[in-house]
Structure 1
Amino acid sequence: MSTAPPRIHRLPVRVYYEDTDMAGIVYYANYLRYIERGRSEWVRDVGLDQNRMKEQDGIVYAVRRVEADYLAPARLDDELEVLTWVAERRPARMIMGQEVRRGDKLLFAALVTVICMTLAGKPVRMPVYHEG
């Protein structure tokens, strides 16, 4: 049995001066900011409202683990693209695959484990969403 390939969300990002270090290279922690934006836009794209989830349902998403590979530098004024997809989904967590690319060049890759929890920190089932 074959499964459909994951739906990939794409977010364009430009590198600004504030993103770089003294050498003009994107500071390593900023890749985490870029992929956070990618996940936030993915959530919107699949029709989930994080504010409503928090206010009405008392649940939020939280990052539990990040496994990251820094492969090549991005530089001032580069046009990047953040790719985000669901690599694995379980009842109370999912693993998101994410990449930062400059054209066809892979600069950064990450697997991010995201959990769903109550405001008190208790794990709960992920809300239903529809990709596509």
Structure 2
Amino acid sequence: MHRHPVRVYYEDTDLAGIVYYANYLKFIERGRSEWVRARGVDQVQIKVDLGIVFAVRRVVADYLSPARFDDQLTVTTELRALGGARIDLFQRVLRGDDLLFTAEVTLVCLGPEGRAARLPAGVRSRLEGDLPKNA
């Protein structure tokens, strides 16, 4: 499981002083980007070399408890499954041990024409080590 720290800034909050709901999607995007980077996958280079990008196809989000200005949060990212062109992840946002938000996220690999494309073998090999043992 990958862990990424996020601090809540004033700009992340609404008039009530709590994190605006859409900003959780930004937080988990940062977590995913850092997860991929930590596995040695250079998304910019893949786009330059192969024309391949990752796009969010589906998000199922559950808002459990609010975060507030200046909270120190942790975004966790876990790989659930790899398909031919698909990456399934489970992400959490925590404040200490308190679970604030969860999301099931499906990414799809897109080729230069904007259609689904197979995950490049080099990317697949770097991510497969994170697959659950029963997958």
**Which runs of 5 or more residues in structure 2 are unaligned?**
131-135
What's the TM-score, normalizing by structure 2? 0.89
The alignment partner of 1:31 has SS state of helix
2:67 corresponding residue in structure 1 = 74
1:122 aligns with 2:115: yes
Q: 2:15 aligns with which of 22, 26, 40?
A: 22
1:34 corresponding residue in structure 2 = 27
Aligned length: 125
What is the CA–CA distance in structure 2 between the aligned matches of 1:76 and 1:122, rounded to whole Å? 40
How far off its partner does 1:119 sit? 2.2
Alignment of 1:1-132 (within 5 A): 8-127=1-120, 128=124, 129-130=126-127, 131=129
What is the CA–CA distance in structure 2 between the aligned matches of 1:117 and 1:15, rounded to whole Å? 32
How far off its partner does 1:122 sit? 1.7
What's the TM-score, normalizing by structure 1? 0.91
CA deviation map 1:64-95 (0-9, x unaligned): 00000000000011010000010111111011
What is the CA–CA distance in structure 2 between the aligned matches of 1:24 and 1:103, rounded to whole Å? 19
What is the CA–CA distance in structure 2 between the aligned matches of 1:122 and 1:107, rounded to whole Å? 34
Q: CA RMSD in A?
A: 1.1
How far off its partner does 1:109 sit? 0.0
Detail structure 1 runs of 4+ shifted over 2 Å in the superposition.
Answer: none
**Which runs of 5 or more residues in structure 1 are unaligned?**
1-7
CA deviation map 1:81-128 (0-9, x unaligned): 000010111111011100000011100000000000112112111132
